[in-house]
Chain A
Amino acid sequence: MTHSAPDDNSVLLVHAYLDGELDPANALGIAQQMGSDPALAAEGERVKALQRLIHERLPREEAPPGLHARIEASVGGLRRQRAQPSWRALAASIALTAMVASGSTWFVVGSQPPNMMIADALVSDHIRALMAPEPVDVVSSDRHTVKPWFNGRISNSPRVVDLAKQDFPLVGGRIDVVGQTPVPTLVYRHAKHVISVTAMPAESRFEVGSTARTVNGYNVVHWSENGVSYWAVSDVAAKDLEEFARLFRSSPNEL
């Protein structure tokens, strides 16, 4: 089988894929094409190398004042609105939801801590994602594609680690909603199981070791580090999810 030079349309799709701009169906299609066409794969490698070079080597310089003004005028308002989801508002929303749902009793006797409600919400998000055609909004096994995809869409871009060698390949990412706040969720696979990992601002900067619980038959592992609270949700065996959390926490990989 011979491979000719990729056509212009395929090259454009590779660029859009690596920019995280394709819908799941097209992303899957071009990823498969790159897997079978060395010329297209090489084009992808060239683009990734250039993106990496710009990101790592090019010092940030001040843009012309006019450009900044135009950005602010056209999308600045929208980005500011997205970039500042209020964590206090989320806490207030959770408290309000709990009070309405339980007739204020948990608030008085403290029988249901907020973490339990966050776990409930994230398990619901996970189930909803499994019911969708794809459990992700951006399909990519490349953390250099997934992490930038969150930039501009959400204020806190999560730490993305590569655990493919440990049999937890990255599948992509999506944006979930807890309370009324959008939160970044990474999606990994382990055998045929899907693992959703959501990152949210932590209440405290103290590191919290992982704690495991079960919600509606789904295993949930929670830990905090560097001011970020992580929640892993999956129907994978509890010991496997705890192992995933251990690997995630100990991985130094970062974009």
Chain B
Amino acid sequence: MRHYHAPEAELIAKTDAEHLRAAIAALPTPFRETLVLRDIEGLDYREIAETTECR
């Protein structure tokens, strides 16, 4: 199995939570809402579309 470790991936992994929070806060609302619903709340794409009324 091949594994790739991009420098960007290492950098992201080292980013502290504050920077992450700030980056998320700076996102436009629809993007921020989608990211929170997907990566924090664990909704799937269909549920996100229903929740954000994108359909």
Which A residues lie at the B interface, using CB under 8 A?
Answer: 16, 19-21, 35, 38, 41-42, 44-46, 48-55, 57-60, 63, 67, 70-71, 74-75, 78-79, 141, 148, 151-153, 164, 169
Contacts and interface: CB of A to CB of B under 8 A. Distances in A.
A151 B2 contact: no
Contacts of B12: 46, 49-50, 53
Nearest to B33: A67
Chain A interface main SS type: helix
A16 B9 CA distance: 18
Interface of B: 1-2, 4-6, 8-10, 12-13, 15-17, 20-21, 24, 33, 35-45, 47, 50-51
A74 to B, nearest CB: 5
B13 A21 contact: no
A58 B19 CA distance: 10
Given A38-B4, A53-B20, A74-B51, A46 B45 contact: no
A59 B17 contact: yes
Contacts of B40: 54, 58, 60
A60 B39 CA distance: 11
- The 4 A-B pairs of least Cβ separation, nearest first, read A42-B6, A45-B9, A41-B4, A49-B9
B20 A42 contact: no
Contacts of A70: 51
Given A41-B2, A169-B1, 16 more contacts: A19-B45, A35-B2, A41-B4, A44-B4, A45-B9, A46-B6, A46-B8, A53-B13, A57-B17, A58-B40, A59-B17, A74-B50, A75-B47, A79-B47, A148-B42, A152-B43
A169 B44 CA distance: 26
Nearest to A71: B51
A104 B19 CA distance: 64
Nearest to A45: B9
A16 B12 CA distance: 20
A54 B20 contact: yes
Nearest to A40: B4
Contacts of B38: 19
